[in-house]
Structure 1
Amino acid sequence: MKKFIRLSISLLIMMTTHTISEAAVNNVQIKYEVSFSEPQAHYADIEMTLSGLAQKAVDLKMPVWTPGSYLVREFAKNLEGFSAEAKGKPVEFVKTRKNIWHINIQGLSSIKVKYRIYAFEISVRTAFIDQTHAFLSTSGMFLYPDGMLKHPSTIHITPYKNWNKVSTSLEMVNNDPFTRTAPDYDILFDSPIEIGTQDVFDFKAAGVNYEVAMYGGGNYDKERLKKDMAHVIELETAVFGENPNKHYTFIVHNYNKAGGGLEHLSSTVLGMSRNSYNTEAGYQGFLSLVAHEHFHLWNVKRLRPIALGPFDYDNENYTTNLWIAEGFTAYYDNLIVHRTKLYSTENYLGILAADFNVVDNTPGTKMQPLAYASYDAWIKAYRPDENSINTGISYYNKGAVIASLLDLEIINDSNGKYSLDDVMRYMYNEYYKVRKRGYTDAEFKLALEKFAGKNLDDFYKKYINGVVPIDYNHYLNYAGYQVKDEFAGTENPTLGVKFPAAGNALKVAAVLRGSAAWVSGISVNDEIKAIDGQEVTDKKKLLDGKKVGDKVVVTVVRDGASLDIPVTLLRDTDVKYKIESVSSPSEKQLAVRKKWLSL
Structure 2
Amino acid sequence: MKLTKQIGLGLLIFLAPALAAQAQTAVNYEVSFKEPQAHYADVKMHVDGLKKEYIDVKMPVWAPGSYLIREFSRNVEGFTATSGKKTLKTEKLKKNTWRVYTGSSNSVDINYSVYAFEVSVRTSFIDASHAFLSPTGIFMYPDNQLALPSTVKVIPFEGWYKVSTGLEPVAGRQFTYTAKNYDILFDSPIEVGNQDVFEFTAAGVKHEVAMYGGGNYNAERLKTDMAKVIEQATAIYGENPNKHYTFIVHNFQRGGGGLEHLNSTVLGASRDAYATEKGYKGFLGLVAHEYHHLWNVKRLRPVALGPFDYENENYTTDLWIAEGFTAYYENKLMLRAGLISKEEFIETLTKSMSDVINTRGGYVQSAAMSSFDAWIKYYRPDENSKNSSISYYSKGEIVGMLMDLEIAHATQGKSSLDQVMKAMYEQCKIKGRGYTDAEFKTMVEKISGISFTGFWAKYVNGTEPVEYEKYLGYAGIKVKDEGQKEAYLGIATKVTEGHLLISAVSRNSAAWVDGLNVDDELIGVEGAYAQPAVEKMPVMQQKKIGDAVRFQIRRDGLDKEISVKLKASPNVELVSSVDPAGTAVEKAVLKAWTGI
Question: Shorter-chain TM-score category?
Answer: over 0.9
Residue aligning to 2:179: 182
Task: Using the TM superposition, give the Cα deviation of residue 467 of structure 1 relative to its aligned residue in structure 2, in angstroms.
Answer: 0.9
8 Å CA contact 1:64, 1:73 repeated in 2: yes
Residue aligning to 1:92: 89
Residue aligning to 1:322: 319
Residues 409 and 491 of structure 1: is their aligned pair in 2 closer, same or farther, counting only changes over 3 Å?
closer
Secondary structure of 1:438's counterpart equals coil
Secondary structure of 2:445's counterpart equals helix
Counterpart CA distance in 2 for 1:78 and 1:203 is 37
Which of 530, 534, 538 does residue 524 from structure 2 map onto?
530
Residue aligning to 2:50: 53
Secondary structure of 2:199's counterpart equals strand
Residue aligning to 2:294: 297
Residue aligning to 2:490: 496
Task: Using the TM superposition, give the Cα deviation of residue 19 of structure 1 relative to its aligned residue in structure 2, in angstroms.
Answer: 11
Counterpart CA distance in 2 for 1:128 and 1:557 is 42
Residues 500 and 172 of structure 1: is their aligned pair in 2 closer, same or farther, counting only changes over 3 Å?
farther
AA matched with 2:101 = N
Residues 191 and 503 of structure 1: is their aligned pair in 2 closer, same or farther, counting only changes over 3 Å?
farther
Superposed, 1:39-188 pairs within 5 Å as 39-188=36-185
8 Å CA contact 1:20, 1:55 repeated in 2: no
Residue aligning to 2:239: 242
Aligned residues: 579
Secondary structure of 2:516's counterpart equals coil
Post-superposition Cα deviations, 1:155-210, rounded to whole Å, max 9, x if no partner, equal 11111121110000011112444111111110000000000010100100000000
Residue aligning to 2:222: 225
Task: Using the TM superposition, give the Cα deviation of residue 229 of structure 1 relative to its aligned residue in structure 2, in angstroms.
Answer: 0.2
8 Å CA contact 1:504, 1:537 repeated in 2: no
Secondary structure of 1:21's counterpart equals helix
Task: Using the TM superposition, give the Cα deviation of residue 96 of structure 1 relative to its aligned residue in structure 2, in angstroms.
Answer: 1.1
Which of 255, 276, 281 does residue 279 from structure 1 map onto?
276
Secondary structure of 1:591's counterpart equals helix
8 Å CA contact 2:289, 2:329 repeated in 1: yes
8 Å CA contact 1:504, 1:538 repeated in 2: no
Which of 443, 450, 453 does residue 447 from structure 1 map onto?
443
AA matched with 2:435 = Y
Counterpart CA distance in 1 for 2:132 and 2:233 is 28
Which of 331, 335, 342 does residue 334 from structure 1 map onto?
331
Task: Using the TM superposition, give the Cα deviation of residue 499 of structure 1 relative to its aligned residue in structure 2, in angstroms.
Answer: 3.0
Residue aligning to 1:541: 536
Post-superposition Cα deviations, 1:58-83, rounded to whole Å, max 9, x if no partner, equal 11000010100000001001111101
AA matched with 2:305 = L
Task: Using the TM superposition, give the Cα deviation of residue 562 of structure 1 relative to its aligned residue in structure 2, in angstroms.
Answer: 3.2
- Measured on the aligned residues, the alpha-carbon RMSD in Å equals 1.8
AA matched with 2:525 = I
Counterpart CA distance in 2 for 1:547 and 1:459 is 39
Residues 146 and 538 of structure 1: is their aligned pair in 2 closer, same or farther, counting only changes over 3 Å?
closer
Identity of counterpart residues, as a percentage? 53
Which of 493, 505, 510 does residue 504 from structure 2 map onto?
510
Post-superposition Cα deviations, 1:85-138, rounded to whole Å, max 9, x if no partner, equal 112122112111111111222411111111000001100000000000000000
Counterpart CA distance in 1 for 2:111 and 2:26 is 16
AA matched with 2:461 = N
Secondary structure of 2:31's counterpart equals strand
8 Å CA contact 1:166, 1:177 repeated in 2: no
Task: Using the TM superposition, give the Cα deviation of residue 501 of structure 1 relative to its aligned residue in structure 2, in angstroms.
Answer: 11
8 Å CA contact 1:292, 1:329 repeated in 2: yes
Counterpart CA distance in 2 for 1:143 and 1:397 is 35
Secondary structure of 1:396's counterpart equals helix
AA matched with 1:576 = E
Superposed, 1:250-269 pairs within 5 Å as 250-269=247-266
Counterpart CA distance in 1 for 2:518 and 2:392 is 25
Which of 336, 354, 376 does residue 379 from structure 1 map onto?
376
Counterpart CA distance in 2 for 1:506 and 1:238 is 53
Counterpart CA distance in 1 for 2:140 and 2:93 is 14
Task: Using the TM superposition, give the Cα deviation of residue 502 of structure 1 relative to its aligned residue in structure 2, in angstroms.
Answer: 12
After alignment, is 554-563 or 283-292 more displaced? Answer: 554-563
8 Å CA contact 2:493, 2:532 repeated in 1: no
Which of 542, 559, 562 does residue 556 from structure 2 map onto?
559
Post-superposition Cα deviations, 1:19-76, rounded to whole Å, max 9, x if no partner, equal 9711111111111111111111111111111112212221100001010000000100
After alignment, is 538-547 or 119-128 more displaced? Answer: 538-547
Residues 237 and 515 of structure 1: is their aligned pair in 2 closer, same or farther, counting only changes over 3 Å?
same
Task: Using the TM superposition, give the Cα deviation of residue 521 of structure 1 relative to its aligned residue in structure 2, in angstroms.
Answer: 1.5
Unmatched runs of 5 consecutive residues or more in structure 1: 1-17
8 Å CA contact 1:491, 1:547 repeated in 2: no
Post-superposition Cα deviations, 1:280-309, rounded to whole Å, max 9, x if no partner, equal 111111111000000001100011100111
Q: What TM-score results when the alignment is normalised by the length of structure 1?
A: 0.94
